[in-house]
């Protein structure tokens, strides 16, 4: 029952946990009017509720979307991406993240993060079962080791495969919103040169959410 409630809590508050771990802070319209304007215009184009906007205080270029569904979607941007991309490139990145929200990728990713965390937790718990001379206890520990070493990594591989396909779909969706695929291509080229975010190291499970690898050198 403890694991069940932990799973529910992780799913319900997973987006907030991710934002907290990477040091993202909500911003106000009064201080970031242009960003809010871009986000709201794209939300209208996509026929979606306005997502909340969060900022990571980091000079690198990166972004991600999260939330359980479009109603509580969040788009998170670094300060670096706001400063170093032109308006068309920034709009393309936001449109890409809006595509993740529209396609419910944010829900899929949140479920995967929750399930992988749960599987890893179960594996660790079973591994710590003290076998001693108890054969049954030893077998349980072996099952836990298998889950931890095989089950969780396999789920991560599945998540990576799914994420790659969803990224392509978000690219297409974002280009449909902006009618400017070249702007996204230019933005991704600039982002790839400096996507490193140190705060993402504290929560490696969220790395796949970003538009570019936040752990890249």
Q: Output the CA–CA distances (angstroms, integers) from residue 139 to 90, 118, 122, 149, 178, in the order listed.
A: 54, 20, 14, 15, 56
Single out the residue of 81, 13, 22, 10 nearest to residue 204, CA to CA: 22
* Active-site option among 89, 91, 97, 109: 97
Q: Output the CA–CA distances (angstroms, integers) from residue 192 to 90, 149, 196, 213, in the order listed.
A: 14, 31, 9, 8
DSSP 151: I
CB-facing half-sphere around the CA of 74: CA atoms within 13 A: 24
Q: What residues contact 150, with CB distance under 8 A and at least 6 apart? A: none
Helices (H), the chain: 2-21, 33-46, 79-84, 87-102, 105-127, 135-146, 152-178, 181-193
Known catalytic residue at 97? yes
Token pair recorded at residue 205: 């499970």
Active-site amino acid positions:
97
């Amino acid at each position: 029952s403890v694991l069940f409630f932990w799973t529910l809590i992780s799913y319900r508050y997973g987006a907030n946990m991710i934002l907290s771990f990477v040091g993202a802070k909500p911003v106000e319209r009064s201080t970031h009017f242009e960003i809010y304007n871009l986000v709201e215009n794209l939300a209208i184009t996509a026929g979606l509720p306005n997502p909340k906007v969060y900022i990571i205080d980091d000079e690198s270029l990166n972004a991600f979307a999260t939330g359980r569904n479009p109603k509580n979607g969040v788009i998170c941007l670094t300060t670096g991406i706001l400063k170093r991309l032109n308006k068309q490139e920034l709009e393309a990145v936001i449109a890409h993240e809006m595509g993740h929200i529209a396609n419910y990728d944010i829900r899929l990713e949140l479920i995967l993060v929750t399930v992988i965390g749960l599987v890893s937790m179960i594996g660790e718990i079973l591994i710590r079962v003290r076998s001693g001379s108890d054969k049954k206890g030893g077998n349980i520990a072996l099952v836990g080791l298998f889950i931890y070493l095989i089950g969780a990594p396999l789920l991560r591989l599945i998540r990576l495969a799914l994420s790659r396909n969803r990224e392509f779909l978000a690219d297409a969706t974002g280009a449909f919103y902006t009618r400017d695929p070249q702007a996204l291509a230019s933005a991704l080229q600039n982002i790839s040169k400096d996507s490193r975010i140190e705060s993402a190291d504290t929560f490696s499970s969220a790395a796949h959410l970003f538009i570019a690898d936040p752990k890249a050198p």
